[in-house]
Structures are given as structure tokens and as C-alpha cells.
Amino acid sequence: MNILEVKNISKTYGKKKVLNQISLAVPQGKIYGLLGPNGAGKTTLIRIINQIIASDEGEVWFKGSPMTRNQVEKLGYLPEERGLYTKMKVGEHLIYMAQLRGIKSLNAPKVVKNYMREFDILDWWNMKVEQLSKGMQQKLQFIIAIMHSPDFVILDEPFSGFDPVNAEFIKNKILELKEQGVTFMLSTHRMDSVEELCDHVTLIHKANKVLDGEKHKIKSQFKTNKYEIIYSHTSRPVESETPVFQIISNVKNDNPDWMTLTVSLKPGRTVNELLHYLLDMTEIHAFRELIPGMNEIFISLVKDVENE
């Protein structure tokens, strides 16, 4: 089941087409990666989903019906442009935002303190927001996005400003909430986060959708039939010309007793044939397929669009 569907959304500013007939479907309970270079149209699409701005064409459906203002208010949203009231104290700010998100006045202080305790920021209660670093303010924004227990959360560059420890904490929190059934749309430039978190990926470039699908299927689609083999240095030398594979590199490993061989399978050949061939020649210590990461795929597709 899809919790969110975007149907043929287009948006133009002046003569510039920002989004061109964009459609996507976000499965319930998954983490959906919305990717693209700067200026691709990601933030515009997110603002349309949140009804901050209107599209020129198309519709946004939520839970099987057109998105309403009442539904938008129940979403969680962490915007790329941080919208905190810097003169307010942290505690009162979070209580105010909790009440705006429908948490009853009597319950708001307790809810806020529980989140601040969990995020290890209870000692910030009387600090003014303007005294906080970018990363500290980002923690507040994340809490604001999830404190009302939404079942759909949009995160626009959520790891901006975080050190590695806090970034890891937020990733784990996202995964914890996913296990509880929360759906996330994640817009980020950090491909390591996409690798770790996302189940489904859409790539937008120059207003158009250029890639869409489950992450594991996309990575499989871009496989190059390349393999890395670590074998004994003292083994019989691997032949440079074989009917099964072509050598890309054959270099010394960090372990002085081993070599690292990188090969590509020849057309029509199988992994079993590759292993059988190598085992006849050498002792293998490790073997893995070299599947391109999302960063490689992202760069490749963006370059292809640029060259069109």
C-alpha cells in the first residue's frame, strides 16, 4: 500500500520549468529517498506535498485520497531552511511547537521533556535557541518533526550540521521509528545515508524524474559483472588471458602473502565458471561482486543527463 502518491506534478517559475510531470508512489512503512543535484526541484516538490506552494498541474494523494490541509498538519516535516524562533528558550519553544501540532497543553511539557531526555538535551531547557550551534538546532528541528507521532515524516537534508556521533543517533532513531510503522521521505545529498537507510529511491534532475525504484533493484540494474578476488601470493600466477574473464587489475594486497585481483566476466560466462577456473589455479581467501554504490549511480546518471 502507498501512503503518498504524487501524480503528474509540474511547476514553472517564470520561464523556468522546475518540475515536469513528476509522479511517484511512497510505500507505507518504508524510507523513500528523494535525490537530485542542487536545483533539481526536490525542495519545490516537498513544498508542494506540504501545500506550502501550489503546483501548476497534478495532484498529491495521501492514504488514498487527495491531500487536505488537515492531513498536512498531521505530517512531520523538517525543512531545509530551519524555522526556529531564536529568541525563545528551548523548552518553551518545543512546548509551543508541540501545541501547534495538536498535543494538548497539559500533556505538552511532559512530551517535550521525554524527548529532550531521550535526545540528551534536557539541560538546554532554559537556553535561548540563538545560543545553540547549527547541529544543536538541528536536534530541535528533528524533535519538532516527530514529537506529535506522525505516520509520515518528510526530512529535507536532516543530517546537515551534525557531527558523526549525532548523525548516527538520528539514523538509528529513524530506523527505530520505521520499525514502528512510520514512513519517511528523505531528501539528502549524503549518499552514505541513502545506502544505509533508503528502501526506495527517486532521482530528479533538471525538473525530470530520471530514476525510480527499489534500491536493491536499481543497484542490480547497474551491475557491471566485476569481481574482486583475494588470493595467495605464493599461488601459481593467474593467467592474463582466459576464456572466462578479463583482468582489470592484479595488485599486491595489504597482506604481503596475498594479491588482489579485479576481473570482469566475459559475455555468457557465469560466476561458477569464474570460481571453478580460479580454484584450479590458486587458493582464494575472499571473493566479492563489485556492485556500484548509489553515489556512483547518481554521478553516472547526472552526467548522462548533462551530456544529452
Q: Which domains does the chain have, with CATH numbers?
A: 2-75+150-217 (3.40.50.300), 88-146 (no CATH), 224-289 (3.30.70)
3-state secondary structure labels for all residues of 283-306: CEEEEEECCCCHHHHHHHHHHHHH
State the pLDDT at residue 308: 58
State the pLDDT at residue 13: 92
Strands 226-232 and 284-289: antiparallel
Q: Would you put residue 266 in left (φ > 0), alpha (ψ -120 to 50) or beta?
A: beta
Tallying the residues shown for the chain, one arrives at: 308
Least confident of 118-127, 235-244, 274-283: 235-244
State the pLDDT at residue 215: 92
The DSSP H or E segment spanning 149 is none
Residue 58 has pLDDT above 90, yes or no: yes
Mean pLDDT of 155-170: 88
Mean pLDDT of 24-40: 91
Q: How far apart are CA 114 and CA 148, in angstroms?
A: 12
Q: How far apart are CA 26 and CA 3, in angstroms?
A: 6
For residue 193, with 0-12 CB atoms within 10 Å meaning exposed, 13-18 middle and 19 or more buried, which class applies?
Answer: buried
pLDDT 10s digits, 288-307:
998 888 888 888 887 776 66
Residue 236 has pLDDT above 70, yes or no: no
Residue 26 binned pLDDT confidence (cut-offs 50, 70, 90): very high
3-state secondary structure of 57: strand
State the pLDDT at residue 94: 95
DSSP state of 137: H
State the pLDDT at residue 256: 86
Q: How far apart are CA 253 and CA 259, in angstroms?
A: 5
Mean pLDDT of 112-139: 93
State the pLDDT at residue 239: 72
Residue 95 has pLDDT above 80, yes or no: yes
State the pLDDT at residue 235: 62
Mean pLDDT of 38-57: 91
Mean pLDDT of 189-209: 89
State the pLDDT at residue 305: 67
Mean pLDDT of 80-99: 90
For residue 81, with 0-12 CB atoms within 10 Å meaning exposed, 13-18 middle and 19 or more buried, which class applies?
Answer: exposed
Mean pLDDT of 256-281: 89
3-state secondary structure of 109: helix
State the pLDDT at residue 234: 66
State the pLDDT at residue 306: 66
State the pLDDT at residue 299: 83
Secondary structure (DSSP) of 160-195: TT--HHHHHHHHHHHHHHHHTT-EEEEE-S-HHHHH
Q: How far apart are CA 239 and CA 168, in angstroms?
A: 45
Give the predicted TM-score (pTM) of the model.
Answer: 0.85
Mean pLDDT of 225-248: 82
Strand partners, 183: 152
State the pLDDT at residue 46: 94
pLDDT 10s digits, 14-24:
889 999 999 99
State the pLDDT at residue 213: 92
State the pLDDT at residue 1: 87
Strands 226-232 and 76-78: unpaired
- Mean per-residue pLDDT of the chain: 90
Residue 28 binned pLDDT confidence (cut-offs 50, 70, 90): very high
Residue 116 has pLDDT above 70, yes or no: yes
Mean pLDDT of 126-140: 91
